[in-house]
């Protein structure tokens, strides 16, 4: 398999720019939000039992 | 709006097969690590039945006179010449790894040649790292009759092996190519982790409450890697650096989760061309080496008062299994050396154990995460007719070596709980298995060094990928990792060795 050059890849990303889709935004913020909430819950549990 | 660019289409038929081939190879390597690790573990348990099967294996103590450095692991074999013990250890490892090489489809001749060099240089590093002036901690100096030492413990041999590997990988490409068949850091580290499970089982037997607490706290790592790191890295690479989805997702997984395995699993899940996870992986390996060479020393300097925070930090911040567990091993030795200088002797292995536990927790969910991404990509982002994500893919992507790690951990725990009188024997058995664990660790360090091609960073265009990596890793991940490690592990200490 011939390896494409990174510069060609970057050039292609410039010309064929893919904007963030609503589903991607949803994935990002729901994931991050649930991470923060779960982390807060675990910190509280940790404090309560230690 | 294009969801799958035309330019990627001509290659899509062959690429998933290539990614699947990589995945298949990795699964095989995973299973081989399980079997090799379990084999060594099972042989070490011979001690429980009165048979010292592995006692002939070589050990190196901290030395001032090279002639007295090497000795067989067990007193039963005290009359065995150290040179014979070393040769027997080499031949034993060569034999079992040749079987593994056969399964991996490697050239046996080239593997045997490469492994010989890997073993010799790795063990030479261990030997040099055990020199008293490098290794001895301050409390050991009077006994060794030396006025000073670097206090790096004999595990400085890991760092020497890494540096030696880096020199070969970056300055001697011809030798590096000749060793290629035996440069398998993932196989070595996964085998070491399987053996490590038994060693940690002993630690858990002795400190059950602490072990339970560590395991429960380790769960937070999963949330951090998947839910807090990944979305931000994906967002930054998409929004601010303009990376396509095909590049951003494996990059986010590579930086956030578990380096190479996660980048490949994600690449496969979103049907990226195989070159994408491979290029991301090469970047991950290089930066993991930089982390490995910097973070344990930073941890020793700033976190020696909170050893378990340092341990969790290594597991959460350093990418790739090999580099993370290797960082845990170095941190373990550096922090214990610093504590010993102030008169506190921590039980060895706990810092390494916490680091490994955190890393293993993260690894467990790679398959689940790849499944979720595959489902989102195929149903919401790149609607593909007839493309169904199967639950079995979670199992297919599950890192199998973890089964070996859990098995050795539970076997030791179960035997110890059922027959407390056997604990001293299990401890001796795990001590013998640990000889091989250390050698697999050493070879991992050396192999990581050889395959870290720093010249790749200077390749045209690679800089942008590297900038995202540096920004996310050093500007976000290691600090969040530190914060979360602090939240969950501060105030938790390894047991102190009395007397």
pLDDT computed for residue B459 by the predictor: 66
pLDDT computed for residue B461 by the predictor: 65
- Whose CA is closest to B258, among B356, B391, B371? B356
Q: Is residue B13 part of a domain?
A: no
pLDDT computed for residue A42 by the predictor: 87
- Contact across the interface for B220 and A28, Cβ inside 8 Å: no
Query: Measured between CB atoms, does B380 come within 8 Å of chain A?
Result: yes
Q: Is residue B354 part of a domain?
A: yes
For B63, the 3-state DSSP assignment is: strand
Query: Measured between CB atoms, does B240 come within 8 Å of chain A?
Result: no
Q: Is residue B255 part of a domain?
A: yes
Beta strands in B48-137 (DSSP E): 58-60, 70-72
- In B, minimum Cα distance to A10 occurs at B461
Q: Quote the CA–CA distance of B184 and B443 in Å, as a whole number.
A: 9
CA B481 → CA B222, B223, B313, B331, B400, distances in Å? 12, 11, 6, 16, 26
pTM of the model: 0.78
B171-177: list long-range contacts, CB under 8 Å, 24+ apart: B175/B117, B176/B450
Q: Which of B239, B247, B381 sits opposite A23 (nearest CB)?
A: B381
pLDDT computed for residue B46 by the predictor: 95
pLDDT computed for residue B312 by the predictor: 93
pLDDT computed for residue B322 by the predictor: 79
Query: Measured between CB atoms, does B242 come within 8 Å of chain A?
Result: yes
- Contact across the interface for A36 and B228, Cβ inside 8 Å: yes
Q: Is residue B357 part of a domain?
A: yes
Judge residue A40's burial from the number of C-beta atoms within 10 Å of its C-beta, 0-12 exposed, 13-18 middle, 19 or more buried.
Answer: exposed
Question: Which of B14, B210, B223 would best serve as a mutation to test chain A binding (most A beta carbons within 10 A)?
Answer: B223
Q: Quote the CA–CA distance of B160 and B335 in Å, as a whole number.
A: 18
Q: Which of A3, A9, A34 sits opposite B227 (nearest CB)?
A: A34
ipTM of this predicted complex? 0.91
Q: Is residue B461 part of a domain?
A: yes
Q: Quote the CA–CA distance of B172 and B20 in Å, as a whole number.
A: 32
How many structural domains is chain B composed of?
Answer: 1
- Contact across the interface for B223 and A1, Cβ inside 8 Å: no
Q: Which of B1, B223, B464 sits opposite A35 (nearest CB)?
A: B223
* CA quadruple B362, B364, B367, B369: dihedral sign: negative
For chain A, the maximum distance between any two Cα atoms, rounded to a whole number of angstroms, is: 57
Structure tokens at B20: 């699947």
HSE toward the beta carbon, residue A50, CA cutoff 13 A? 18
CB B183 within 8 A of CB B110: no
- In A, minimum Cα distance to B245 occurs at A18
CA B367 → CA B144, B288, B373, distances in Å? 50, 22, 10
Percent of chain A scored above 90 by pLDDT? 36
B470: number of Cβ within 10 Å: 15
Q: Quote the CA–CA distance of B175 and B148 in Å, as a whole number.
A: 37
- Whose CA is closest to B234, among B369, B395, B398, B382? B369
CB B490 within 8 A of CB B309: yes
| Partners of residue B488 in chain A, C-beta under 8 Å | 42-43, 46
Domain containing B86: what range? 22-489
- Contact across the interface for A10 and B488, Cβ inside 8 Å: no
For B40, the 3-state DSSP assignment is: helix
pLDDT computed for residue B182 by the predictor: 96
| Partners of residue B1 in chain A, C-beta under 8 Å | 18-19, 21
Q: Quote the CA–CA distance of B439 and B73 in Å, as a whole number.
A: 13
Mean pLDDT by groups of 10 residues along chain B of 499 residues = 33 41 59 95 95 95 92 94 97 97 93 97 96 86 89 83 92 93 91 90 81 79 82 94 91 85 84 82 83 91 94 90 87 91 88 89 82 86 70 77 90 93 93 93 90 71 81 91 90 83
- Contact across the interface for A13 and B242, Cβ inside 8 Å: yes
Q: Is residue B35 part of a domain?
A: yes
**Residue B246 Cα, gap to closest chain A Cα (Å):** 10
Spell out the residues 6+ positions from residue B456 whose beta carbon is closer than 8 angstroms to its own. Answer: B282, B283, B286, B462
For A28, the 3-state DSSP assignment is: helix
Q: What percent helix, strand, coil does chain A show, rounded to 5?
A: 75, 0, 25
């Amino acid at each position: 398999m011939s390896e494409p050059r990174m510069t060609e890849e970057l050039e292609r990303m410039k010309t064929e720019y893919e904007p963030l889709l609503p589903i991607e935004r949803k994935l990002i913020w729901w994931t991050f939000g649930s991470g923060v909430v779960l982390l807060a819950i675990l910190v509280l549990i940790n404090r309560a039992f230690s | 709006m294009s969801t799958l660019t035309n330019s990627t289409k001509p290659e899509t038929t062959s690429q998933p097969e290539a990614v699947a081939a990589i995945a298949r190879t990795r699964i095989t390597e995973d299973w081989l690590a399980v079997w090799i690790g379990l084999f060594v573990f099972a042989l070490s348990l011979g001690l429980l039945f009165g048979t010292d099967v592995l006692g002939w294996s070589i050990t190196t103590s901290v030395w001032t006179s090279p002639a007295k450095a090497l000795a067989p692991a067990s007193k039963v074999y005290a009359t065995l010449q150290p040179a014979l013990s070393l040769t027997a250890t080499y031949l034993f490892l060569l034999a079992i790894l040749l079987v593994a090489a056969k399964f991996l489809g490697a050239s046996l001749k080239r593997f045997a040649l490469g492994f010989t060099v890997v073993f010799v240089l790795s063990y030479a590093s261990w030997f040099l790292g055990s020199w008293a002036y490098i290794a001895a901690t301050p409390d050991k100096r009077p006994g060794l009759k030396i006025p000073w030492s670097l206090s790096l413990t004999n595990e400085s041999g890991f760092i020497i092996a890494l540096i030696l590997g880096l020199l070969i990988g970056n300055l001697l490409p011809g030798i590096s190519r000749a060793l290629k068949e035996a440069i398998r850091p993932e196989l070595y580290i996964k085998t070491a982790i399987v053996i490590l499970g038994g060693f940690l089982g002993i630690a858990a037997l002795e400190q059950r409450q602490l072990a339970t607490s560590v395991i429960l706290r380790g769960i937070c790592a999963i949330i951090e890697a998947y839910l807090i790191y990944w979305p931000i890295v994906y967002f930054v690479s998409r929004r601010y650096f303009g990376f396509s989805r095909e590049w951003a997702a494996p990059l986010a997984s590579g930086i956030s989760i578990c380096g190479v395995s996660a980048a490949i699993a994600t690449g496969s899940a979103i049907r990226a061309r195989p070159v994408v996870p491979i290029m991301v992986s090469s970047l991950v390996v290089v930066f993991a080496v930089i982390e490995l060479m910097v973070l344990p020393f930073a941890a020793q300097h700033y976190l020696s008062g909170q050893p378990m925070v340092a341990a969790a930090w290594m597991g959460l911040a350093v990418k790739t299994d090999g580099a993370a567990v290797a960082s845990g091993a170095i941190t373990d030795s550096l922090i214990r050396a610093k504590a010993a200088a102030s008169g506190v002797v921590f039980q060895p292995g706990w810092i390494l154990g916490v680091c490994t536990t955190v890393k293993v927790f993260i690894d467990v969910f790679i398959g689940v995460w790849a499944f979720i991404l595959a489902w989102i990509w195929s149903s919401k982002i790149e609607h593909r007719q007839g493309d169904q994500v199967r639950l079995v893919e979670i199992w297919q992507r599950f890192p199998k070596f973890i089964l070996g790690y859990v098995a050795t951990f539970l076997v030791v725990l179960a035997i110890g709980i059922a027959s407390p009188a056997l604990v001293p024997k299990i401890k001796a058995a795990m001590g013998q298995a640990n000889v091989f664990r250390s050698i697999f660790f050493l070879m991992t360090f050396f192999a990581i060094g050889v395959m870290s091609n720093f010249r790749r960073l200077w390749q045209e265009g690679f800089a942008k990928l590297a900038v995202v990596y540096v920004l996310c890793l050093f500007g976000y991940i290691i600090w969040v990792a530190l914060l979360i490690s602090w939240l969950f592990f501060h105030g938790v200490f390894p047991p102190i060795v009395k007397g």
